[in-house]
Amino acid sequence: MPGPFDGMQPGEWRELAGTKLRSVLCTPTSPCLWDDNHGNPANFLGAWSGGYARGNIVGYHGGGGPDCSINAVAEIDFGANPVTMTCGAKSSPTMRPETGVTAGKYADGRPVSVHSYSGMTWVPGLSRMLRVGGAQWSSDTVTPYAWAYDPVTDTWESKPTIPSWVGVQPNGNIESSLHYDPVRQTCWFRTENLSWHEFNPAMNSWAVRGSGSSGAGRTTALIGRAIYLVGRGVSYLPHLDAAGLLVEQAVTTTGDVPPWLSGPWVYPGVAVDEAAGKLITWVNGPDVHVLDVASLVWTRYAAAVGAPAPPVTGVAPVLTKLQYLPALGVAVVAYHLDQNCWAWKPAYAPPPPPQPPTLDISFVSGPTVQITSTNATSASGTGVFAGVTTLNGQVALGLGSGSYTVTGALGSVTVTVTGPSIP
């Protein structure tokens, strides 16, 4: 059977048949009620909700605010053929949340539904989705609690609250942003009024890492060693590994700047192609705008006239419901409970495949050698090379022999050298 993405051409949009989430969210045995006590089920995706990716699986979790009481987590496995969908349990549809929410959870102990924004991320070390903050059903006030969700067992567990939010109602902090940092193996969190905080899953603790916040109307994404904030212009939080408090900085972008970039309250979809150094952004319709983070240049990709593409109207704030799946080479988005998902194949040239490292060492004069390497990120040595870490350059050696090793993404290579006799 052909796979769901087989034959896709660069720049092509493809509708994925059989991926309407209502079919697993609202079932005869677990119906979705639509009334003043429960809100509109369509707002599970439509009301400032986000998503997260774990491999080829994308999860969706939203509702909240005055819009929808549904607190389930739905997942779509885009790597399956055909694509498969699952949905966790919903809290009882007969409860009235105005009187049924205590400490951020319904009477059955599961967390209240929220406008999740970008406030969810997959944490590999926990094998859990982490959710922090959000605007809760139905008061539309901030829930200060953190929760971890296990999609295998469909269970939730509480995590530590940000210290400054303990025992208070942190109103004006509804726009959650949360991202896993694979280098530090931590999670970064902010709101429109709360500066960046870092959660350490291994230590189960929070630390303040930012100074100030650049405000609301942003969708955020971690790429490389920075977090970018897109919407109402572009800002970024650079140097994530630096000590001290970090500050968001506005940046100027050029090229095919999206027309929505300077407008308020757009909340674009922003997906990360880490290998290519690109942010894939989409709001509605056929146009995809891609930001190259090295050059800060935008490129617009438009579908061919008459080619299939998502609709221009009827699309809610996209946020992190747009996800790039590197193993499949496509960006996918679920934007409406009663519409199929769509996939977009990047039209930009893919990055060259990684190459194994090379190493050459030649004598220049006396004990001085020229070290030349490619595709390497680190180096170490023994003997006369002890303490040397140069990847490219000249080094004066002592008398004797030694080995030098450089390491890259595809392994290591070692050269052994016997020093010359020095008059």
Contacts of 157 (CB under 8 A, 6+ apart): 128, 147, 148, 150
Name 113's Cβ contacts closer than 8 Å, sequence gap at least 6: 62, 63, 64, 68, 69, 70, 71, 136, 137
What token pair was written down for 126?
A: 């926990």
Averaged pLDDT of the chain: 92
Residue entry with tokens 């199929």: 340
**What is the per-residue pLDDT for 214?**
85
The one-letter amino acid code at 49 reads S
d(CA 357, CA 407): 7
Q: What is the pLDDT of residues 333-361, one digit of tens each?
A: 999 999 999 999 999 988 888 899 999 99
pLDDT for position 1: 81
Q: What is the pLDDT of residue 319?
A: 97
- Determine the pLDDT at residue 422: 39
pLDDT tens profile 65-79: 999 999 999 999 999
CA trace torsion 74, 165, 139, 101 (10° rounding): 70
pLDDT digits (tens, 9 = 90+) for 200-241: 999 999 999 999 888 899 999 999 999 999 999 999 999 999
Residue 423's pLDDT is what?
34
8 A C-beta contact, residue 252 and residue 261 = no
The answer to whether residues 382 and 398 touch, using CB atoms and an 8 Å cutoff, is: no
Q: What are the DSSP calls for 159-227, one per residue?
A: EPPPGGGTTS--TT----EEEEETTTTEEEEE-SSS--EEEETTTTEEEE-BS----SS-EEEEETTEE
Quickly state the pLDDT bin for 93 (edges 50, 70, 90).
Answer: low
Q: How many CA atoms lie within 13 A of 384 on its CB side?
A: 17
Strands 219-223 and 226-230: antiparallel
pLDDT per position as a tens digit, 253-296: 999 999 999 887 889 999 999 999 999 999 999 999 999 999 99
User: Which is nearest to 117 in space by CA: 76, 173, 164?
Assistant: 173
Distance CA 319, CA 374 (A): 38
Res. 138: pLDDT tops 90? no
The 3-state DSSP composition of the chain as helix, strand, coil percent (nearest 5) reads 5, 40, 55
Q: How far is CA 344 from CA 57, 83, 287, 331, 399, in A?
A: 16, 16, 10, 5, 59
- Please report the pLDDT score of residue 421 as a whole number: 44
**What are 142-178's pLDDT values in tens digits?**
999 999 999 999 999 999 999 999 988 888 899 999 9
pLDDT value of residue 357:
95
- Lowest-pLDDT range of 51-55, 153-157, 375-379: 375-379
Each residue of 4-38: pLDDT tens digit?
999 999 999 999 999 999 999 999 999 888 887 78
**Res. 370: pLDDT tops 90:** yes
| Secondary structure element (H or E) that encloses residue 98, with its range | helix 97-100
Q: Is the pLDDT of residue 102 over 90?
A: no
What are the angstrom distances between the C-alpha of 106 and each of 14, 68, 90, 95, 140? 39, 14, 10, 8, 15
Establish how many alpha carbons lie within 13 A of residue 147's alpha carbon, considering only the half-sphere containing its beta carbon.
Answer: 27
Q: How far is it, in rounded angstroms, from Cα 227 to Cα 213? A: 13
Nearest to 13 by CA among 352, 340, 350: 340
Superfamily classification of domain 13-344? Kelch-type beta propeller (2.120.10.80)
Residue 95 has pLDDT above 60, yes or no: no
Q: Is residue 272 within 8 Å of residue 221, measured between CB atoms?
A: yes
Q: Write the pLDDT tens digit of every residue in 389-422.
A: 999 999 998 888 999 999 998 999 999 987 654 3
Which pLDDT belongs to residue 96? 53
